[in-house]
Homo-oligomer: A and B are copies of this chain.
Amino acid sequence: MFSGAQVSLYPMSDDFVGIILEAIKALDPYRPTFRIETDDISTLLVGPPDQLFPAMRDLFVSASRHGPHCVLAATVSRGCPGEPDDPICTPIADVNFDKPLPERIAAALGAVEAAPRMGQSVAAQFSLYPLGSGHHMDEIYGCIEFLKHSGVFDKSKNFCTKLRGDAGPVFATLSEAFLRFGAPQGHVALDLKVSANSPTAV
């Protein structure tokens, strides 16, 4: 399996370069477990699927801590058949996701409840794409069932779901949605935006 993300950080500030350079130091603890490459559009993280959202959470909280309106956008993927297997993508937690939907929903809710609080409010919007399966809408509806009970569900929108709350449980909810829905070895993609300090937040 191959798993990773293309991650971009958008500080709505004249000092966006400084904010980005400072924030990416939050990725330092993850460097031993990830391959990280940057160009002018995004930063590639390749590594354990269960560490992707904690890494993005720490990056985003670091960028938004000092008050600017910031957005993190990411394209997250696991199991893409066009990518070679890579040992770096072995999950750190030894977990079995090959279970019926109701059990996966219960386990996901438990993980969100155990998530640490970060002290940063965020709004997130994402779409989950289980690819190559004949039952992709079943997995999407199962995931939505989990989201509605996650404690950070805000609302369903066209093409996506919106979450709101502390960055800790919000990123934990996103991680569970990504890991536990869609076939365990299947191709799953997730399209994500997370926003903090928006002047128009409701």
Q: Could you list which residues of chain A lie within 8 angstroms of chain B, going by C-beta atoms?
A: 4-6, 8, 10-14, 16-17, 39-42, 44, 46, 69, 71, 73, 75, 77, 80-83, 123, 125, 127, 129-134, 136-137, 140, 157-160, 162, 187, 189, 191, 193, 195, 198-202
Copies of this chain in its oligomeric complex? 2
Instruction: Name the residue of chain B whose CB is nearest to the CB of A202.
Output: B40
Q: Let me know if A6 and B158 touch, CB within 8 A.
A: yes
When distances are taken between beta carbons in the complex, the residues of chain B under 8 Å from A11 are: 12
Q: Name the contact of A132 in the complex, choosing from B39, B134, B162 (C-beta under 8 A).
A: B134
Q: In the bound complex, what is the Cα–Cα distance between A130 and B140 (angstroms)?
A: 15
Q: In the bound complex, what is the Cα–Cα distance between A197 and B6 (angstroms)?
A: 20
Q: In the bound complex, what is the Cα–Cα distance between A8 and B13 (angstroms)?
A: 16
Given A39-B157, A77-B158; 18 other pairs, CB 8 A cutoff: A4-B158, A4-B159, A5-B159, A6-B157, A12-B14, A12-B16, A17-B199, A39-B202, A40-B200, A40-B202, A41-B193, A41-B195, A44-B157, A46-B158, A75-B191, A80-B159, A129-B131, A132-B137
Instruction: Name the residue of chain B whose CB is nearest to the CB of A199.
Output: B17
Q: Let me know if B159 and A6 touch, CB within 8 A.
A: yes
When distances are taken between beta carbons in the complex, the residues of chain B under 8 Å from A80 are: 159
